[in-house]
Amino acid sequence: MLPLTFDSISFLRDQERIFFVGGEIHYFRVPPDQWAQRLRLLKEAGGNCVCTYVPWLLHEPEEGKFVLDDPALDINRFLKLCAELELWAVVRPGPYQYSELLNAGLPSWLLKNYPQVNACGIDGSPLVWPNGMFISVSYQHPDFLRLTQRWYEQILPILAAHQIDRGAAVVAAQIDNELMGVHAWLGSWDYHPEVMGIGREEGRWPQFVQQRYGDLAGVNEAYELQAGSMAEVLPLAEPQATSLAQLRRVMDYRAFYFEQVAQYARTLVRWMRENEITVPLVHNCASPYMTGYFRETVERCRGELLLGSDHYYNLDLDWDQNQPSPKYASKCLMSMELLRGYGFPPAVFEMPSGSLSDWPPITPSDAACAYGLNLAVGMKGVNYYVFAGGENPAGTGTTCDLYDYGAPVSPTGEIRPLYEAVAGFNRLLDQQRWLAGAEAVSDCRIGYSLDQSRHPRKLPVDQKLLMPPDEAWSFMRKGLMLTSLCAHWSPEMIDLSSDDILNNIARPLLVAGSTVMAAGEQRRLVQYLQAGGQLILAPVVPTLDEHYRPCRILADYLGGVEQQRCRRDAPLVRVGEIGGLLINGGLFEFAHLPAGAQVIARTQLEPAVVGLKINPPGGGCAVVLGFHWRQSRREHERVVHQLLLQAGGQPVIECDNPNLWALARTDGQQTMLFILNLFSSPMNASIRFRDSVHQNQWQTLPPIKLGAMEVQAWSPIVGCIWRSSAASGDSGVSA
Amino acid sequence: MLPLTFDSISFLRDQERIFFVGGEIHYFRVPPDQWAQRLRLLKEAGGNCVCTYVPWLLHEPEEGKFVLDDPALDINRFLKLCAELELWAVVRPGPYQYSELLNAGLPSWLLKNYPQVNACGIDGSPLVWPNGMFISVSYQHPDFLRLTQRWYEQILPILAAHQIDRGAAVVAAQIDNELMGVHAWLGSWDYHPEVMGIGREEGRWPQFVQQRYGDLAGVNEAYELQAGSMAEVLPLAEPQATSLAQLRRVMDYRAFYFEQVAQYARTLVRWMRENEITVPLVHNCASPYMTGYFRETVERCRGELLLGSDHYYNLDLDWDQNQPSPKYASKCLMSMELLRGYGFPPAVFEMPSGSLSDWPPITPSDAACAYGLNLAVGMKGVNYYVFAGGENPAGTGTTCDLYDYGAPVSPTGEIRPLYEAVAGFNRLLDQQRWLAGAEAVSDCRIGYSLDQSRHPRKLPVDQKLLMPPDEAWSFMRKGLMLTSLCAHWSPEMIDLSSDDILNNIARPLLVAGSTVMAAGEQRRLVQYLQAGGQLILAPVVPTLDEHYRPCRILADYLGGVEQQRCRRDAPLVRVGEIGGLLINGGLFEFAHLPAGAQVIARTQLEPAVVGLKINPPGGGCAVVLGFHWRQSRREHERVVHQLLLQAGGQPVIECDNPNLWALARTDGQQTMLFILNLFSSPMNASIRFRDSVHQNQWQTLPPIKLGAMEVQAWSPIVGCIWRSSAASGDSGVSA
């Protein structure tokens, strides 16, 4: 077999652009005599790789006593089988596994003998999961690191022997699992006093702070403290931030925590390399909203680590929507675009093929729809979690004895209807391999600021910010992105901290502005405008930099624009000729008109100015709207559509059904149009699209009919080539 | 026309049991020359009643200047037309309207000239809605009452002249709108110092407290205060409750607030009667979770006021699920059963036929599914909100200029696909009129404690309660109710504070126990067991009464059972032979075994006892489980199924697809079986059911096939007589 590599566009086998198609099969949950049958089923379903955890919990059941040759846990034999069947393998040796295993896959003796490794809340007390599903450790605790290193030294050479360059199956290895989840989901970061060095002059946290602000005087100034020594500079609990100085301290601890995670990741990467692992290393971000938390990890492990993401839509009753809804799709779009922004081929390392809950169910047609929509938003790699169910080794399950998971293949090896949904989607990937090299056809851009995604939600200090960063992030997703999709624009997402925004001046740029924006990002927006760019910014022009210090680079360039909260007369706004625009959030009026500015939006009754068009020096144009919204009304679509047209945008798709989304991808030779019905009702539409492959001529598709929760893939030449409902059999699901 | 009346089973026209089928049409939003056309469309769609707000905002635009003869607002002519077309009418003259009107329908001069009527937060500052969608007044402020009374005196005689007993159309009038919503949705009750008399010796609040505890000494004892006078006994903000005495004070203020609302409602009822309104009075509870808040209002207005509920499932992106999902259905079931428990024929006074948001959409097939599921859970009256869109009078809209609402009839009078969903469902109601007199066929009972639904969520004091009341309420809904539905049992809900639970000893009773349970409810459960009842109680036996004072009536009767938090070894529990039961919440072990108690559940690894079977004196049997769950796994269904069978339960339905729900209704002569697929995928099933009309013989239905999000109604004799997808046309929705 050839090794697996990747670049920023896709995965590669030798020089060939391919989709990575993994299936999660746990050797420790499947009887050894059935391993081959499960692997064959994966291959027959179109998979090219098997992925598995290698649980520390099972392989070191007593401290220092490693079990590596038990037939039920014989990873050597399992990986040999993979090679024999010509399946790649990705191994995930932890230390964390999660996987609904006891202690999240950590050995019980670790917690019993080394309670000091437990992560701590801000008051220094251990972080404990009430339902026992997880264990939170302090990643960099010396005991945890030492024991992890010993585990790695035992297991990695075994795994290394099965690497592709030695003629075997392993093409990648994963470090840890869903980093930060065990802390974040408890609503706390790790504040382990020893590990983080809190209250210790030479501790990690004081040193981090000192490096940032030079000396104690600088720290005291930044935090408005009168600390007598660095040891007295303590972190602050997030809800306690009521001033900008306190917010600065809260955000510094966040950045510090992310940096610690990055150092832990870097350590695991180093140990992987020291223990003969030469294949690419990977990691899975637990959830799209956490992707921004990985900025430090991505930077520290640049060139060594591929970050992917997990894309669940329904793990239990209280999950949002329980279906591959538009909300889910917008999360997936954001996730794929953020990974692309980091420079990775977007991959979904845990794609739901089943769920830890039997109910609400993952149905084949929902699943096929989810797979299709992920492809539509740029997915280049997928790993079905789990592909085959099994039985938990005695006493190691946290959700059940049988890890059935409603998987495509049952614990006893039978094929279920979901298998066909997986296989049917994989056939599409196989038949349309060129899509691995394709990129989105876009007609507008949404600039994003990762800082916004890292900001805590709803802090008391928010009152001091016209527009808090987290609200701007929410507006970016639920306003700018959803509205442009509903208006049938195709946004490309661009990291404002990169120079990418300067590479395509012709296309209009939408930005959700917060009161806080990094000086570098403000400067880049100025450069974009100076170069003739077309900017649509809402709801505020930033006035603070990333350190919450005054910074009006953009505001000054826009003629000294100033905004203030608008005491509204009635909650509607008029933009140009479009009246009655519902605003779901804050409303900000302009204190005065910069010279030459043109008023384009006013409040309903009294004429407060809430929208300006400004032509700053350089030929660019900025539209600044003093309001934000969640996508809910045709008026929102009309405003965005009109502003994008006025900014010179040229839509590539026209569709007469505002409830459908359509997105195209092309490799320059071929184009594929994805049509998404993410509602539980059938939908019809007429669709035209402008194909760059055909001299940008408008192509009209035949009348479109989609079933409930259906994604279709259309080739402008061949016609409809894939329907998620057909791929899933569409026949109804029995017990 | 004959008048509309009601009893506890249904609405009545003369002696005939009928469905109330209303459609909301706002005369003030439709051009007067098109009123007749809209009313005819409603009648043709099967409606028997038109409902409309009568907005104070529009009819008293300046203080004391009433506009009653403007042709666009000519309510006389509108109501005359209703009578001519033989449509009943329900009028909703406020004072509140909501209806996406400016100030929620209150006159602007009221807020400008009488700012003192604004409701207040606990710190005495005005409660203000950030987005201007609502205005919160203090209902019993003397100025607000005086001005409301003047409005009533102007408008009610006009409406009274159109009552059915005077040969006209009006069969009912509504007081106010969605009481308490304007406070509750802001996250605060009203603490208006003057109105509530906070800090005033003779104020309403001190008097309420004094009445409850006799004298200042009693109050100080109850609240653990050292107040020198009643004026010093202040309310406590809910999140500040950290002791039982503080919780008592918090809950007393809640009860006091609910009582004030009841007195306000009583005042409005009195003014209605004083101003010639003789028809039944109605009110709509905003949301099923608030139904319990109306206990005092229902008691104070007994015999004068019919309470219904509003059942939206999708008003914007951030609404739960955006579809008529199982979560929505379980809310509807609870809502209908609680209204039945109050003694009313369950009615949905605002049933979504459209939404204030264009997106996510209300599709015809989703809507038809929602209508069908509401009927399946006992709905006897429905009012489509809104039936016809229209244009907001200038400057009075808060969401848009055009109040399109995606309604079945457009603002210009065209019929939309949703019209057929409404008409198709109304045809079912018309053809199966006997269903108006039908009751649920049930095979088990779930006892509920309204107190639990009135308890705040997640207070700090919760740590002092093994199982806080709000968590028990959540377990009742997401555990007991959902699991029994998924296991194809048909629960009837019974108010534990009524003697109803003693009326049917044969049927097993499921109860979600909280640490807190009223002494009367505990006593009634003892009586139930003494009479031979079969009780299944989880997760705790109460130890406090409704005033948070020690009360072990039930625990002592059960042999002195005592529970304590279980330090779990692993998060699974085994019940009898059923292993690996996932527990999503707290786990409580028994401190000792009462004499004769039988162990039926243990934790996974170490043998902590978490389930007992107890046979107390009298022949009854109590199963006490020390854990709770959210429905998620087949194991949950198996445990509930087995326990209900062991308790002598005899299921009336068998179904081999655990994702479908089936519920039957009968009037003793005929039976109708409703089959609900509330997922976005097609479903198949085999279903048998035991029809009391046919000597309880098992009837086997032909193979069942349901489309995505489809409800079917089956007659065991005739076969399938209604499918929501067919009723809605199922043809796809265009712009």
Contact call for A358 and B632, based on CB within 8 A: yes
Among B107, B35, B27, B7, which residue's Cα sits nearest to residue B70?
A: B27
Q: Report how far residue A660's alpha carbon sits from residue A638's, in angstroms, rounded to the nearest whole number.
A: 16
Hey, what domains does chain A have and what are their CATH numbers?
Answer: 4-109+138-181+253-437 (3.20.20.80), 443-646 (3.40.50.880), 653-727 (2.60.40)
Q: How far apart are CA B373 and CA B663, in angstroms?
A: 10
Q: Quick one: pLDDT band at residue A570, thresholds 50, 70, 90?
A: low
SS3 percent helix, strand, coil of chain B, rounded to 5, is 35, 25, 40
CA distance A420 to B195: 66
For residue A556, give every residue at least 6 positions away whose Cβ sits within 8 Å of its Cβ, in sequence order, or none. Answer: none
- Give the Cα separation of B227 and A511 in Å (integer): 56
Q: Is A582 in contact with B680 (Cβ distance < 8 A)?
A: no
* Predicted local distance difference test score (pLDDT) of residue A735: 33
Tell whether A705 lies on the interface with B, counting CB pairs under 8 A: yes
Q: Which regions of chain B are under pLDDT 50?
A: 730-735
CB-CB contact of A253 with A243 (8 Å): no
Phi, psi of B309 (to 5 degrees): -140, 155
Opening angle at CA B351, ends B349 and B353, nearest 5: 135
Question: Can you give the pLDDT at residue B732?
Answer: 44
Residue B574 pLDDT: 86
What Cα–Cα distance (Å) separates residue B575 from each residue in A35, B408, B636, B638?
32, 51, 10, 10
**List of long-range contacts for A293-297, beta carbons under 8 Å, 24+ apart:** A293/A180, A293/A184, A293/A258, A293/A261, A293/A454, A294/A179, A294/A258, A294/A342, A295/A258, A295/A450, A295/A454, A296/A255, A296/A258, A296/A259, A296/A261, A296/A262, A297/A179, A297/A258, A297/A261, A297/A262, A297/A265
Secondary structure class of A559 (helix, strand, coil): coil
> Cα(B538)–Cα(B630) distance, rounded to whole angstroms?
13
Task: Tell if the pTM clears 0.90, that is, is over it.
Answer: yes
Asked if the Cβ–Cβ distance from A630 to B360 is below 8 Å, we say no
**Residues A289-306, buried b or exposed e (16+ Cβ, 10 A)?**
ebbbbbbbbbebbeeebb
Q: Are strands A381-385 and A347-352 parallel, antiparallel or unpaired?
A: parallel
Measured between beta carbons, the chain B residues lying within 8 angstroms of A588 are: none
How far away is chain A from the Cα of B567, in angstroms, using its nearest Cα?
Answer: 10
Using an 8 Å CB-CB cutoff, list chain B residues near A568. Answer: 132
Q: Using an 8 Å Cβ cutoff, are A383 and A23 in contact?
A: yes
CB nearest to B365's CB, from A398, A681, A685: A681
Residues with Cβ within 8 Å of A669's Cβ and at least 6 positions away in sequence, in order, are A434, A693
Model pLDDT, residue B364 = 95
> Using the beta-carbon criterion (under 8 Å), do A571 and B709 form an inter-chain contact?
no
Beta bridge partners of A572: A582
* A402/B contact by beta carbon, under 8 A: yes
Location of structure tokens 């010639």: B276
- Chain-centroid distance of CA A41 in Å reads 30
Confidence label for A320 from pLDDT (cuts 50, 70 and 90): confident
| Range in A124-133, A136-145, B27-36, B158-167 with the lowest mean pLDDT | A124-133
What angle is formed at CA B452 by the lines to CA B446 and CA B456, rounded to 5 degrees? 150
Helix (H) or strand (E) holding A328, with range, is helix A326-342
**Best of B359, B365, B588 to disrupt the A interface by mutation (most A CBs within 10 Å)?**
B359
Cα–Cα distance measured from residue B355 to residue B11, given in angstroms and rounded to the nearest whole number = 27
Mean pLDDT rounded to a whole number for chain A: 94
Question: From edge to edge, which strands make up the β-sheet containing B653-655?
Answer: B653-655, B687-691, B697-700
Q: What is the pLDDT of residue B731?
A: 47
Q: Quick one: tokens of A625?
A: 């709207």
CB distance B173 to B305 below 8 Å? no
Q: Do A363 and B685 lie within an 8 Å CB cutoff?
A: no
Q: Using an 8 Å Cβ cutoff, are B575 and B536 in contact?
A: no
Residues of B in contact with A399 (CB under 8 A): 571-572, 580, 582, 633
Average pLDDT (A297-323) is 95
Q: Does A317 touch chain B (CB under 8 A)?
A: yes
Nearest Cα residue to A370 out of A676, A706, A664, A687: A676
For the cut 70, the answer to whether the pLDDT of residue A56 exceeds it is yes
What does the alpha-carbon distance between residue B22 and residue B5 come to, in Å, rounded to a whole number?
Answer: 15
Give the angle B654-B660-B661 at the CA atoms, nearest 5°.
70
Q: What are phi and psi of A24, to 5 degrees?
A: -85, 115
The answer to whether A681 faces chain B, any CB pair under 8 Å, is yes
Report helix, strand or coil for B483: helix
Angle (nearest 5°) at CA A363 between A361 and A368: 140
B366 interface with A at CB cutoff 8 Å: yes
Is the Cβ pair A325, B326 closer than 8 Å?
A: no
Q: What is the pLDDT of residue A729?
A: 56
Is residue A362 within 8 A of residue B635, CB to CB? The reply is: no
Contact check, Cβ <8 Å, B580/A400: yes
A with B: how many residue pairs have Cβ under 8 Å apart? 226
> Residue A359 is nearest to which of B397, B400, B658, comparing CB atoms?
B658
Share of chain B above pLDDT 90, in %: 87
CA B724 to chain centre: 23
Answer whether A168's CB lies under 8 Å from A80's CB: yes
Distance from CA of A133 to the nearest CA of B (A): 7
| Residue A584, pLDDT score | 72
**A466-480, A604-618, B196-210: segment of lowest average pLDDT:** A604-618
pLDDT bin (cut points 50, 70, 90) of residue A727 is: low
3-state secondary structure A661-708: EEEEEECCCCEEEEEEECCCCCEEECEEEEEHHHCCEEEECCCEEECC
pLDDT bucket at A212, cuts 50 / 70 / 90: very high
Residue A602, CB-side half-sphere exposure with 13 Å CA sphere: 10
Does the pLDDT at position A522 exceed 50? yes
Sign of the torsion angle spanned by Cα atoms A686, A691, A694, A697: positive
pLDDT at position B734: 38
Least confident range of A203-217, A580-594, B457-471: A580-594
- A633 to chain B, any CB pair closer than 8 A? The answer is yes
Whether chain B has a CB inside 8 Å of the CB on A586: the answer is yes
In sequence order, the β-bridge partners of residue B699 are B689
The band of A618, judged by pLDDT with boundaries at 50, 70 and 90, is confident
What integer pLDDT is reported at residue B694 of this predicted model?
80
